[in-house]
Each structure stands twice: as C-alpha cells, then as structure tokens.
C-alpha cells in the first residue's frame, strides 16, 4: 500500500506509529515547509491540542515543548505552537494551558485499589498518632453511628498507626478492645496491613485459642502463658477476618463495585492513569470487570495475583492458576479504553521491619533496648524476622512463572528478604533469556549496601514507597534504632539505589498510606517530614541524598511503566503513545522542593478522554 503524501512529509518528532495509526483518519490539507520547499500534504487534524504550556515529556532527554496534539487517543505530536499549527483543523478543540505544566499520567506501581476504595467509607483512625483512650473513643463513635447493626455484625476499623500509638510502646490487645461498649466482634487493621488487633468476640468467632497453630505465613502473638493476645501478624489476620459473616454474593459484588468506582475516581484525581494492584484476588478481578462493563474503568490496570507459600509450593499449578485467571478476567484495552492485564504473581517474601512486629527478614538480629526510654541501651537481640519463602522455594516458583511468560512482584522489606530474592532472580536469569521478566521488589526498607548494584545487573526493579523516607514514628522510633549504627544508613533509601544505577519505580501502597502522590514525590526529593508532630521528626532522614526532581518524576512515570512492561505505550509524552497526561498547577522543576506536596491536579486525560477536572480549571 502506497503511503499518503502526509506520511512522507511527517516530521520525525511526530512519530511513525502515530502516523500509521492515523492513515485512514480525516485529514486537512496544509502546506508544510520541508527542506526549504513547500510540500502539499494531507495531514490528519488533531482532536485536541493543548497550547501555551510546559509539556514535560519524560522522553530520553526530558525534552520540554509548548504544545501537544492528540487524535484517537494517541499523541500525534509535541512541539512549538508553530509546529503543531498544521494539525489544527476546523473540528479541533484547543485548550490554552496558560503556561501550566503537563506531565505524563502518573503510574502507581504498587497499591491495593479495592481496599483503598473501601477505606474511603470505613470506620477509620486516619493514620493518626493516638493514645489508647483516643482509639477507643474513635471506635465507640463508629459503633454509635452503626447502632442499627445486628449483634453478630463485625466492625472493621482501618488505618491504625500502630507504631505511633501513644505513649511509646503502647499497643492494642483483646483485653483493651473488650472495654468497648459492644458485644460485636471488632477488628482493628494497622495501616501497614500486616498487623491486626481483635477483641475477644472476634477471636471466639474465629475459634482462636492458645492452641491454634500459626499459619505458614504469619503469627498469632501470644503472652508468656501461651495465650493469644489479640494481635495477629500477616497470614494470621486472614484466619480471623475469614470468620466474619459475608453478605450475599450479589450484595458483596455491588459493594466491591462501589469500592472500585471510588478507587479509580480517587486515583484519577491524584493524576494516576495506570496502576498495579499489588495483591489481587478474584473479588478484585470481578469488581474491575463490572466497572469495565459499566464504562467506569478510567485507569489502565495490571494485577498481580497473590500466592501464599502453600500455593507456591506447587509451582507449576500455581503458575497455571494465574494463566487461567488471566484468560478469564483479562479486559482488552485500547488507547481510549483502559483494560486489565493479569501477568504476574505477588509473593510476600517477608513481613514488616518496624517494631513491634519485626517480621521483616534480617540477616542479623534486630537491636533491642535493655534500658529505658530516656536512657536506652541498644544491643542485638534474638529476633531476625520471618522469611516466608526460602531461596530454593522462591527460585522454583519464579522459574515456573517465567516458563509461562509471567512475572513477579515481591514484598521484600528486610535485607535478608532482598538478598534471597535477588539470589533467586539471578538463578532464574541464568536459565531463561526473558527480557520481559522484570521482577519488582517492593519496599526494600533495609538493604545490605552490597546489593544496591545487583538491581541494575539483574534488571530487577526497586518499587519504593518514597513517602516513607522521612523522620517519623515508623522510622525514627520503630526502625532506625532497631537496626543499630551499621545498618541505620541503609533505612528507607532512594538516592543510594539511584547512584548504583537502579531503575526506581514508585508505589504508594495505598491504603497502607493515605493516597498522596505529591507528598511522596516531595519526600523523595527532600527526605524531610513536612509536618513533624515532634521535634525529633525534624530534619533529614539519614545520609541518603534523595532524588533530584527529574529522577523523581521518572520514578512516577516511565520507570513505573517499564516495571509493568508498558513503556512502549505509557509513561512519557511521545508521538505514538497513549494520550495519558495531566495538567498541574505548578512547574515542578522551578519551585522550591518543599512546595511539591502542594501540587494540585487540574486535569487528567486517559487516551485523550477527560476523566478528572478540577473546579479551578476552565478552558
């Protein structure tokens, strides 16, 4: 087929893919200067042109342009207003940006969106540092608001900031929760989603006693007499939660759909256009299918299917299970219609490194304080955390996944979990030539410095929750002193990963944290707490240099796209890619770094389609 004249005259910056996509599109005839001559060419008109802006492309050189043109959900050109002018036809919609900044749509490489949607309407402690009495008062208020509930209905409370419970060292137990004015089962979910407290009614309903064995991926915390205290870690939480009565199948499906709706609206308002569900279950997949069917799926989605150690112990069957789910729930997507891809497993290699849980797997023991709060005496103790997959087990399941063309997203917080995971990846790399295998290691909160360069060498992606890299109760109080002086410099680092050549991707971990992409970006750069509640939370966390703003932006865009095998379609504003972009209210490259968190998203486009608009924006 002979190419039309307009493709031959198409400037290189407009992109061959965009040109090919638009070959059959409506055109407008214009004159374009080329090689000093005037060439008549039929150039496709844009549907939408954004002009008079700062279009920060996140291409290989972070080039910046005045304008961007979109047609049929694709970017067809970036350039100066004069360069874009030939693409403006009689039907083209034009938007004056008034010098505002345009970025690629953000890509959140680790979140739990269905749980996030549920959090928006749940009884919540709002991630705040609270005393035991304040916690009980908040929960009592929720019970009063839910006074029509039946006696056997469970109350599930969210966003308990366990590490910040006041005073230092205070913790919930079943005995404390039994003070609540109710006979209903009550469970309180810690914000890290690895710890939960339950009252005696919840424990009784779940059949939890001192004789109940721990699951393979968790712990029922017990007192000195061997009795369950009411604290449940990791997989033990599900032994309790699964005892709660469930609504009818249809009622639960409608609840999940409402939560999915709320989640995508929330992420779009933050500028997120693509996300990874980092621990997907069938209920998540069904909710996304229902949302897609009603036309409400406005975020491109990749799901990682959670595999327990017991499930992964049969690696071939586990990998086949993911393949079956992918075939059943995959939602075909296009430039203008986001879909769902299920192409990886989620493996919890360890737990959490913060005290008091300390289930994150460490090579050497956590330090313990044998002194007092005012006169601490820190020395190595006997806890090294929990490794839920050993190296051989992890290698076998990764090999099975790669053999089926699948990838893996792994929870690794402690230095031993990171090391074991990198070792397993290295073994699998030797057996498979699989460039599309881009394993993600999520969180990486404490690392052996010898392992920094291995990420680049193995094409493994550190998926960092960058908002954690600040002085706060969960670092200054519950992590740094427990690491001891030799490991403390490698707590919640980012700049050291970058210096070693790692391709950092961002993952908010919402709703483990509040959904605030811009606060996370600011902390990635400053390493400071913008709202310290006490003086000891002032200043910089450790000696990590943090990221410069250009590197931070890449972590939220093209690097996260790479981690999801989507960098050919999203993550930068280049011709031929999907027109996923956001307009924000400030130039991130020109403001003081302590103002990044104040950024407001004014407009979010997915495939050129408006999915969020602030009241502050007018055409």
Domain count, the chain: 2
pLDDT score for 2: 36
Same domain, 138 and 51: no
Distance of CA 5 to the CA centre of its chain: 45
Residues in the chain: 619
State the DSSP code for 476. Answer: I
Q: Is the pLDDT of residue 428 over 70?
A: yes
Q: Which residues contact 210 (CB under 8 A, 6 or more apart)?
A: 222, 225, 226, 227, 228
pLDDT band at 16 (very low <50, low <70, confident <90, very high): very low
Same domain, 95 and 127: no
| pLDDT tens by residue, 32-62 | 433 433 334 456 899 999 999 999 999 999 9
Mean pLDDT of all residues in 264-270? 98
CATH number, domain at 119?
Answer: 3.10.310.70
CB 415 within 8 A of CB 362: yes
pLDDT band at 619 (very low <50, low <70, confident <90, very high): low
**327 belongs to a structural domain:** no
Same domain, 121 and 69: no
pLDDT score for 163: 86
Q: Which residues contact 182 (CB under 8 A, 6 or more apart)?
A: 143, 155
CA distance 201 to 154: 9
**586 belongs to a structural domain:** no
Number of H helices, E strands in the chain: 20, 28
Same domain, 170 and 89: no
**b/e for 478-509, b at 16 or more Cβ within 10 A?**
bbbbbbeeebbebbbbbbbbbebebbbbbbbb
Q: Which of 514, 495, 500 is nearest to 455 (CA)?
A: 500
pLDDT band at 31 (very low <50, low <70, confident <90, very high): very low
Question: Nearest 5°: phi and psi at 97?
Answer: -85, -10
Q: Are strands 461-464 and 601-606 parallel, antiparallel or unpaired?
A: unpaired
pLDDT score for 33: 39
CA distance 251 to 243: 18
CB 536 within 8 A of CB 505: no
Mean pLDDT of all residues in 515-538? 96
Place of tokens 């079943």: 174
Same domain, 84 and 160: no
Per the structure, the complete domain to which residue 41 belongs is given by: 5-99
* The model's pTM: 0.87
**208 belongs to a structural domain:** yes
**232 belongs to a structural domain:** yes
Q: How far is CA 324 from CA 328, 342, 394, 450, 463, in A?
A: 6, 10, 21, 39, 27
Residue 309, helix vs strand vs coil? helix
| pLDDT tens by residue, 378-403 | 999 999 999 999 999 999 999 999 99
Same domain, 61 and 152: no
Same domain, 230 and 121: yes
Place of tokens 């269905």: 114
CATH number, domain at 41?
Answer: 2.30.40.10
Q: Is the pLDDT of residue 28 over 80?
A: no
**55 belongs to a structural domain:** yes
Give the bridge partners for 31, in sequence order.
40
pLDDT score for 365: 98
Same domain, 178 and 140: yes
CA distance 456 to 497: 9
Same domain, 42 and 157: no
Mean pLDDT of all residues in 355-362? 95
**294 belongs to a structural domain:** no
Residue percentage of the chain with pLDDT more than 70: 93
Same domain, 95 and 124: no
Q: Is the pLDDT of residue 18 over 90?
A: no
Mean pLDDT of all residues in 274-286? 97
**605 belongs to a structural domain:** no
Same domain, 87 and 185: no
Domain end position, chosen among 64, 99, 134:
99
**544 belongs to a structural domain:** no
CB 601 within 8 A of CB 583: yes
| pLDDT tens by residue, 126-142 | 889 999 999 999 999 99
Same domain, 134 and 195: yes
Element (H, E) at 235: helix 235-241
Domain end position, chosen among 176, 211, 241:
241
């Amino acid at each position: 087929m002979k190419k039309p004249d307009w493709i031959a005259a198409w400037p290189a910056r407009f992109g061959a893919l965009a040109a090919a996509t638009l070959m059959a599109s409506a055109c407008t005839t214009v004159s374009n200067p080329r090689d000093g001559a005037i060439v008549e060419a039929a150039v496709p008109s844009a549907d939408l042109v954004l002009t008079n802006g700062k279009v920060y492309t996140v291409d290989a050189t972070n080039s910046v342009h005045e304008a961007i043109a979109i047609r049929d959900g694709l970017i067809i050109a970036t350039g100066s207003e004069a360069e874009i002018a030939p693409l403006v036809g009689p039907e083209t919609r034009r938007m004056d940006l008034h010098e505002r900044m345009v970025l690629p749509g953000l890509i959140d490489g680790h979140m739990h969106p269905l749980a996030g949607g549920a959090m928006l309407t749940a009884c919540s402690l709002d991630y705040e540092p609270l005393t035991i009495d304040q916690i009980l008062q908040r929960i009592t208020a929720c019970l009063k608001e839910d006074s029509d509930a039946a006696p056997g209905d469970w109350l599930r409370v969210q966003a308990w900031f366990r590490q910040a419970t006041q005073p230092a060292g205070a913790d919930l137990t079943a005995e404390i929760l039994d003070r609540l004015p109710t006979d209903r089962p009550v469970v309180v979910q810690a914000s890290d989603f690895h710890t939960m407290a339950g009252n005696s009614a919840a424990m009784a309903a779940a059949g939890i006693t001192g004789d109940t064995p721990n699951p393979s991926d968790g712990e029922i915390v017990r007192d000195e007499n061997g009795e369950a205290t009411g604290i449940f870690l990791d997989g033990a939480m599900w032994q309790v939660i699964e005892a709660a009565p469930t609504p009818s199948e249809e009622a639960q499906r409608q609840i999940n759909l409402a939560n999915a709706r709320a989640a995508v609206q929330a992420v779009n308002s933050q500028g997120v256009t693509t996300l990874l569900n980092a621990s997907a279950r069938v209920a998540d997949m069904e909710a996304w299918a229902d949302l897609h069917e009603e036309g409400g799926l406005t975020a491109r989605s990749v799901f990682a299917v959670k595999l327990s150690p017991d499930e992964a112990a049969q690696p071939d069957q586990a990998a086949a299970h993911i393949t079956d789910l992918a075939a059943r729930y995959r939602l075909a997507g296009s430039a203008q219609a986001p879909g769902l891809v299920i192409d990886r497993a989620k493996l919890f290699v360890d737990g959490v490194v913060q005290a008091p849980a300390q289930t994150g797997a460490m090579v050497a023991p956590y330090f313990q304080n044998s002194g007092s709060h005012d006169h601490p005496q820190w020395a190595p103790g006997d806890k090294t955390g929990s490794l839920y997959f050993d190296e051989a087990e992890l290698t076998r399941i990764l090999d099975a996944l790669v053999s089926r063309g699948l990838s893996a997203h792994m929870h690794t917080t402690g230095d031993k979990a990171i090391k074991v995971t990198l070792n397993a990846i290295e073994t699998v790399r030797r057996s498979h030539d699989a460039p599309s295998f881009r394993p993600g290691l999520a969180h990486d909160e404490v690392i052996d410095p010898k392992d920094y360069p291995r990420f680049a060498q193995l094409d493994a992606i550190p998926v960092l929750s960058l908002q954690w890299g600040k002085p706060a109760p969960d670092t200054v109080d519950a992590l740094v002193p427990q690491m001891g002086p030799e490991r403390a410099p490698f707590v919640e680092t980012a700049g050291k990963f970058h210096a070693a050549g790692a391709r950092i991707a961002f993952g908010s971990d919402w709703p483990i944290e509040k959904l605030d992409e811009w606060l996370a970006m600011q902390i990635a750069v400053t390493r400071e707490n913008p709202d310290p509640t006490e003086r000891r939370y002032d200043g910089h966390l450790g000696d990590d240099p943090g990221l410069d703003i250009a590197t931070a932006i890449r972590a939220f865009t093209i690097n996260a796209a790479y981690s999801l095998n989507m960098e050919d379609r999203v993550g930068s504003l280049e011709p031929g890619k999907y027109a996923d972009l956001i307009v924000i209210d400030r130039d991130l490259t020109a403001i003081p770094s302590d103002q990044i968190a104040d950024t407001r998203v004014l407009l979010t486009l997915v495939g050129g389609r408006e999915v969020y608009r602030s009241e502050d924006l007018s055409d």
